[in-house]
Amino acid sequence: MTADDRRARPRAFRLDPQGQVAEAAMAQPVSKPPQIEIELQPDPYELKPVALPVDEAVVEMAQRRGMLGWFRLGWGGLFWSALGGLVSLGIGLWIDGLIEQLFSRAAGLGWIAVALAALVVLALLALTIREVIGVFRQAHVAKLHAALAAAHLADDTDAARRLVGELAALYAQRSSTAAARAEITRTTGEIVDGRDLLDITERLLLHPIDAAVAREIAEAAKRVSLVTAISPRAILDLVFVVGQIIRLIRRVAELYSGRPGFLGFVKLARSVGAHLAVTGGMAIGDSLLQQVVGHGIAAKLSARLGEGVLNGLLTTRVGLSAMAVCRPMPFAAGPQPGVKDVAPFLFGASQDS
């Protein structure tokens, strides 16, 4: 029973109105005054964040609008869907007619046409499945993101354990995450608070991907500013910028969860747009000044160079929005990197590095 003896006994210290230990409480003889100090501790329940951080609320709003949203059928949508249906029927009719004609010409040709048509149908089916998977994957990521944010806020250990498992499953196909996944499985079994488990997971699993995404954004920004600076015609660099932005969004989604597919991409782009619309003036607003200054200096050197920097900035911002929206986990362990962290070269820092 030695452990028992060492355990501290219950104690009481009577306090006077000033919050100090009252004299009467000191049972020990006066010759040896006991050293009793009382140090008030900050309220542990106040330390928790009051609500979702603003950034997080914006991300979830953006995800709801795109990745989780359904396509709403307005009159325009109805028009295009109906027209599309008619065109598909027309194509079907045409193929049918073609096959019949080929049969009437020669049976062999007809069979070849049938086989080709079957291949078309098969490929179409595969494409559709891929699209559906892409859309569902995006929705899954958005739901996971919201659940993880809630678990982090509530410091909910049970939810954290479950969600971390789901998160690891998302990356089960990637061999480069094997060590991180094993480590997370180990940690999940130990006694750990919900919030700590989530932070550990974020550090192990997502930070490497974050770095890859940041690199991707930086490269796209570099390419865009370079091409804008040297392209002979405005329309050419416009096409190039749009192409690069589409590629960048797809790439970010691919790194975080997997290929979005075409429909998934459309939903994703909607989310990125919604996120950009809010954060354009707010979250990245702190660096607005530098952006203007940077643009000013570059523009003084050459108008084309200035435009190049501006287009680079635009690409970076889109990339960062895509990063926030595609990430299956909120930025909790650290803040999201800003424009300056990802693309320092746009601010003339490249000379140093």
Partner 1 sequence: MPERSVTFFSNLLSEAQITARSVADYMGGTGLRLGVTGLSRAGKTVFITSLVHNLTAGGRLPVLRASAEGRITSATLQAQPDDAIPRFTYEDHLASLTLDRHWPESTRRISELRINLEFERQAGWRSRTGSLTLDIIDYPGEWLLDLPLLDKSFAQWSRETLEASAEAGRAGLAADWRGGLQGLRLEDAFSETAARHQAERFTAYLRASKSDRYALSTLPPGRFLMPGELEGSPALTFAPLPVTEGAAYGATTMAGMMERRYEAYKTHVVRPFFRDHFSRLDRQIVLVDALGALNSGPSAVRDLQVALGDVMQSFRAGRASRLASLFRPRIDRILFAATKADHLHHTSHDRLEAILRVLTARAITRAEDVGAKIDVIALAATRATREARVTHDGAQLEAIIGTPLAGERVDGELFDGVAEAAIFPGELPADPRRALRGDALAVPDTEADYRFVRFRPPVAQSGEGGQAKPLPHIRLDRALQFLIGDKLA
Binding site for partner 1 (CB under 8 A): 4, 7-17, 19, 21-22, 25, 27, 34-41, 43-45, 48-52, 57, 64, 150, 153-154, 158
Name the minimum Å distance from CB 149 to partner 1.
10
Specify whether the CB–CB gap between 344 and 350 falls below 8 A: yes
Q: Of 270, 273, 247, which is closest to residue 68 (Cα–Cα)?
A: 270
Which residue shows structure tokens 């914006």?
A: 58
Chain centroid to CA 343:
18
For partner 1, which is the closer residue by CB, 27 or 301? 27
Name the minimum Å distance from CB 5 to partner 1.
11
Residue 308: DSSP 8-state: H
Structure tokens at 139: 């929705």
Structure tokens at 127: 């494409």
Specify whether the CB–CB gap between 340 and 290 falls below 8 A: yes
Name the minimum Å distance from CB 174 to partner 1.
32
Name the minimum Å distance from CB 82 to partner 1.
23
For partner 1, which is the closer residue by CB, 71 or 94? 71
Name the minimum Å distance from CB 59 to partner 1.
14
The SS3 assignment for 231 reads: coil
Distance between CA atoms of residues 139 and 257, nearest Å: 11
Q: Of 182, 239, 180, 250, which is closest to residue 216 (Cα–Cα)?
A: 250
For partner 1, which is the closer residue by CB, 10 or 74? 10
For partner 1, which is the closer residue by CB, 46 or 352? 46
For partner 1, which is the closer residue by CB, 37 or 352? 37
